[in-house]
Amino acid sequence: MSKPRTRRRRKPLLRCAIKGCLNLNDEVKFVGPLCTPCYWFLTTERVNRSQASRNFREWAIKYALAELQRQMFVTLVRKMR
């Protein structure tokens, strides 16, 4: 008889919406389409205030917003069917 193993319920794998971020939702928690590190990075003021991080932050916010809008649009289209 084999030992009973803990059943693993597989969530659909989601990759963080930030381009270049490789976090998956089975490794870290997610807030919508973003992993929590990216989410915190985008939403807290307690980040490195260097110009590079500002540039990245600005770009990432634009990217995340575009991604959110795209996902909202896809959801809307699905609902309309």
Q: Using CB under 5 A, which of 2, 3, 15, 18 touches Zn ion?
A: 18
Q: How far is the CB of 21 from Zn ion (least distance, A)?
A: 3
Q: Which is nearer to Zn ion, 4 or 12 (CB)?
A: 12
Question: What φ, ψ does residue 19 adopt, rounded to 5°?
Answer: -60, 130
What ranges in the chain are assigned the alpha helix state H? 36-43, 51-80
Q: Which is nearer to Zn ion, 6 or 44 (CB)?
A: 44
Quick check: 64 binds Zn ion (CB under 5 A)? no
Measured distance CA(28)–CA(26) in Å, rounded: 6
Report the distance separating Cα 26 and Cα 11, nearest Å.
8
Establish if 38 lies at the interface with Zn ion (CB under 5 A). yes
Binding interface with Zn ion (CB under 5 A): 16, 18, 21, 23, 35, 38
